[in-house]
Amino acid sequence: MVALGTTGTSKAGTWSRSRRHRMSGEKAFTLLELLVVLVVLTISAAIVFPKLEACLPRESLLWRSGKRLASVAKYAREVSICTQSMHLLHVDRQAGTYWVATRTVAGELTSPANVLGLCGQLPDGVRFSAIELSGGDSLSEAVVVIRFSPEGWCDPAIVSIVSSDGRMVRVIINEWPARTDLFGADLVE
C-alpha cells in the first residue's frame, strides 16, 4: 500500500497525488483528452463554416468591381512612382474592361502580363456608365486613358459603374493627394 503524499505507479504511468486529494472527488482532463476535443471542434468548424458563409451577406458584384478598379488605380500610381515611369490606366467603356500599361522612355507602350492582376473585366450585369476627367466633361470615347506620372500626380477622374438593378458606385481618382476613393450604392435616376 502506498503512503499518503508519495509517488506511485499506475498502468498509465506515475502519479503523485495523495489519496486524500483523489478521494475528494476532484477530477481533471488529461492533455490527450483536451487535444481530442480541440481536433473534433476544428473538424466541425471546417465543415460548418463554409455552409454558413452562404447565409452571410456578401459584398455585391458592383461594390467588388469598384473596389477592384480602385485598387488597380492605386497600384498604377504607386508603381509609376517606384519605377519612375509613366503608367496608363485604360478603361474600355464598351467592353467593360480595364488594364494598366507602361510608357517606356522611348514612348512605346508595354502592357504587363496579368500576373499581378493589372487587367480586369466587369462581371455580367455591371457596366461603366460614365467617365469624367479633370474638366468635368463626361467622355464618350470607347477607351479612356488615365495617366499616372512618376512624380506622383495623375489625371483626376471619376469612373461611374452601374449595376443592372440601378445601383451605382463611383471610383474617384484624385490628382493630389495620392488617393483613390470609392463611393456608392446610390440609385440611378
Is 69 a member of any domain?
yes
17 & 38 share domain = yes
Task: Answer yes or no: do 49 and 93 share one domain.
Answer: no
Predicted confidence (pLDDT) at residue 128 exceeds the cutoff of 90? yes
Query: If you average pLDDT over residues 7-16, what whole number do you get?
Result: 54
Which pLDDT does position 160 carry in this prediction? 92
Domain holding 134, by residue range, is: 61-187
Residue 135 lies in a domain: yes
Co-location of 92 and 162 in the same domain: yes
Helix (H) or strand (E) holding 9: strand 8-10
pLDDT tens-digit profile of 103-115? 766 667 776 544 4
Structure-block grid coordinates of residue 105: 522612355
Is 70 exceeded by the pLDDT of residue 58? no
Q: Is the pTM of this model over 0.75?
A: no
Percent of the chain with pLDDT over 70: 68
Q: How far is the CA of 25 from the CAs of 20, 21, 188, in angstroms?
A: 9, 8, 71
Which is more confidently placed, 176 or 70?
A: 70
When pLDDT is cut at 50, 70 and 90, the band that residue 189 belongs to is very low
DSSP track, 74-121: HHHHHHHHHHTSEEEEEEETTTTEEEEEEE-TTS-EEPPPGGG--EEE
Do 115 and 72 share a structural domain?
yes
| Average pLDDT, integer, range 21-31 | 70
Report how many domains make up the chain.
2
Please provide the average confidence, as pLDDT, over all residues in the chain. Answer: 77
Domain membership flag for residue 20: yes
Q: Are residues 17 and 92 in the same domain?
A: no
- Residue 41, φ and ψ in degrees, nearest 5: -65, -40
Verify that 46 and 82 share a domain, yes or no.
no
- Report the CATH number that the domain containing residue 99 is assigned in CATH: 3.55.40.10
Domain membership of residue 2 (yes or no) is no
85 lies in the same domain as 168: yes
Q: Give 155's contacts (C-beta < 8 A, 6+ positions apart).
A: 133, 134, 145, 146, 147, 173, 175
Decide if 21 is inside a domain: yes
CA 126 to chain centre: 19
CA–CA dist 76, 119 (Å, integer): 11
Q: Are residues 68 and 117 in the same domain?
A: yes
Of 11-15, 76-80, 102-106, minimum mean pLDDT range? 11-15
In a domain, 174, yes or no: yes
